[in-house]
Amino acid sequence: MSAQPQPGATVSNPVIPGFHPDPSVCRVGDDYYLVCSSFEYFPGIPVFHSRDLVHWTQLGNALERPSQLCLPREMPSSGGIFAPTLRHHDGRFWLIVTNVGDGGNLLFTATDPAGPWSDPIRLPGVHGIDPDLAWDEDGTCWVTVAGVSQVRLDLATGETLGEPHRVWSGTPGALAPEAPHLYRIGDYWYLMIAEGGTERGHAVSIARGRAPDGPFEPCPANPILTHRSTHRPIQNTGHADLVQAPDGSWCLVLLGVRPGGGTPGWHVLGRETFLAPVEWVDGWPVVGEVALELPAPAWPLHPVPAEPARDEFDDAELHPRWISVRERSQSMCTTKERSGWLTLRAAGASPDEPDVVFVGHRQQHLSCRARTLIDPTDGRGGLAVRLDEEHHYEIEAADGEVKVYARIGPLRTEVATRAVPAGAVVLGVEIAPEPPRGSRTGPDVLSFGIEEPDGTFTVLADLAGRYLSTEVAGGFTGRVIGMYAAAGTVHFDHFDYEPLQLP
């Protein structure tokens, strides 16, 4: 059901919260489709749908078969799937992306963005990351990559036509020109890029020319978007994509982060997808404010139902929001063995290992709670909050005992233990802002514990959240909360995730 926005109405940013970076968007009729990077997680490239650019529903994942996505065990975290571009052309959806762990640049197609998507066409002649697709009037396809360089492409074979050539690469001396997108708008071809690195210096700049391969004239107001050297609550703004609404107005989707705590500020959810309005002045885009609350757009809004707080694992297949580390096989992860339960069989012995059997979903709220009922009778496993192999916290159950572990860089330590009756136990974590203590205040505190038979939650350990942040760990991902097996076979009856409403 749609609703016309009331005067003065606002909408919330980010429009897709949590670890959803590098957004790319296209419109087909009244429908918008958006994809994001997924790095070392399987399945890869979440695909979203919206009717208003504000409310989004995940349709699936573009890369859901091993024939589409190989993430080798030796590939480090924050490798894998970088910066997809999604476009619709000639009645078909086109998805181009870099897999830095296997094969470089890949091209996929689908007639329905919900899938199935094709197996990849490999592009050995397309070098670099962050590939973009654009077509000129005669049907020639241009691929532009970070750097910034450009080459023509035969879509049927994946072969390049001619030699790559350098094109406009942003502000002279600017760090890391990347995330190029090429558009035909009016009489000009516009080349929009990110520059300044994906940290606090991130920015968006643009140039225009009369031909898709330039020469390009830079916008005199570059960068057209940056939050560097500000105290705005949204930082690292960049890696953007333009889209036009049916009424002729324009918007920008982009990545940003919400740092918390004192100096230097830690972001823990990863880079998220934000929305910004765009106006055109003298042939150049002018980006409106990127804020936590935006004026509602003029077109009708189409709210979508909230996801249920609890997953009972009653379906034969997992919801597309669930992701695993590098791979997921039916032999290691299934809802079909015990009705209404998720069954995990261990490979790696803990979340320290690159082949840990783990099923989680992105943390999407700065304050939230998660609970799961685990039966560890035949094994050992638990509930983890993961950033990568060297930065994670978990609460683990086995042999009538529950333990809390912390892994921070080279240090792994047991921080709490509690005896419990043998059999099933409810494990939980609650995440809330750290109480203020000046400039050294961290972003949040993670409280791990168990749910008692009367429903009360007993905290076994409070752990500082800053150590599960990008500013400490590095990399490109955000927190993922989920279940894992560390030995034998463990079963999970349900998983609850919900935001916390704090005073």
Nearest-angstrom CA–CA distance, 378 and 367: 33
Query: Does the residue 381 lie in any domain?
Result: yes
Given 295, 321, 344, the domain boundary residue is 295
Reading the block at residue 428, the tokens are 């939980």
Whether 383 has a pLDDT exceeding 60, the answer reads: yes
Both tokens assigned to 128: 């670099």
Q: C-alpha 214: how far from its chain's center?
A: 32
pLDDT at residue 1 is higher than 80: no
State the Cα–Cα distance between residues 24 and 34, nearest whole angstrom.
5
Other C-beta atoms closer than 10 Å to the C-beta of 311 total: 21
| Residue 151, in any domain of the structure | yes
CATH value at residue 225 = 2.115.10.20
pLDDT (tens digit per residue) in 23-36 = 999 999 999 999 99
Enumerate the active-site residues: 22, 178
Please check whether residues 423 and 275 belong to one and the same domain.
Answer: no
Instruction: Mark whether 280 and 319 lie in a shared domain.
Output: no
Q: List the CATH number of the domain containing 337.
A: 2.60.120.200
Instruction: Find the mean pLDDT for residues 357-379.
Output: 97
Q: Is residue 99 part of a domain?
A: yes
Q: Please tell me whether residues 381 and 252 are part of one structural domain.
A: no
Is the same domain home to 193 and 216? yes
Instruction: Provide the domain limits for residue 141.
Output: 10-295
Confidence label for 179 from pLDDT (cuts 50, 70 and 90): very high
The CA-atom distances, in angstroms, between 369 and each of 19, 98, 430 are 17, 34, 4
Averaged pLDDT, 102-124: 96
Closest CA to 250 of 291, 278, 276: 278
At residue 503 the predicted structure's pLDDT band, cuts being 50, 70 and 90, is: low
Domain count, the chain: 2
Residues 63, 210 within the same domain: yes
State the alpha helices, DSSP H only, in 37-169.
none
Q: Which of 239, 302, 266, 319 is nearest to 46 (CA)?
A: 319
- Residue 327 and residue 464 in one domain: yes
* Residue at which a domain ends, from 295, 327, 346: 295
In the chain, how many H helices and how many E strands? 1, 38
Residue 244 to residue 28: CA distance in whole angstroms:
10
**Residue at 154 is within a domain:** yes
Answer yes or no: is 336 within a domain: yes
- Cβ atoms of residues 465 and 444 within 8 Å: yes
**Lookup: tokens for 5:** 């926005």
Q: Name the token pair of 374.
A: 């685990």
* DSSP character at residue 5: P
Same domain, yes or no: 425 and 317: yes
Q: Which of 296, 274, 234 is nearest to 17 (CA)?
A: 274
Looking at the structure, tell me whether residues 89 and 235 fall in a common domain: yes
User: What pLDDT is recorded for position 8?
Assistant: 77
Q: φ, ψ for residue 253 (rounded to 5)?
A: -100, 145
Q: Around 325, how many Cα atoms within 13 Å sit in the side-chain half-sphere?
A: 32
CA 273 → CA 27, 164, 295, 390, distances in Å?
A: 17, 31, 17, 26
Q: Are residues 320 and 267 part of one domain? A: no
| Residue 301 placed within a domain | no
Determine the straight-line distance between the first and last CA of the chain, rounded to whole angstroms: 32
Q: Tell me the whole-structure pTM to 2 decimals.
A: 0.97
If asked whether residues 289 and 323 sit together in one domain, one would say no
Indicate if 323 and 193 belong to the same structural domain: no
Answer yes or no: is pLDDT of 2 > 80.
no
Mark whether 314 and 244 lie in a shared domain: no
Per residue in 444-496, pLDDT (tens digit) is: 999 999 999 999 999 999 999 999 999 999 999 999 999 999 999 999 999 99
Last residue of a domain, one of 266, 295, 324: 295
Asked if residue 319 belongs to a domain, the reply is: yes
* Enclosing H/E stretch for 310: strand 310-311
With contact defined as beta carbons under 8 Å apart, do 253 and 20 qualify? no
**pLDDT score of 6 more than 90:** no
In a domain, residue 302? The reply is no
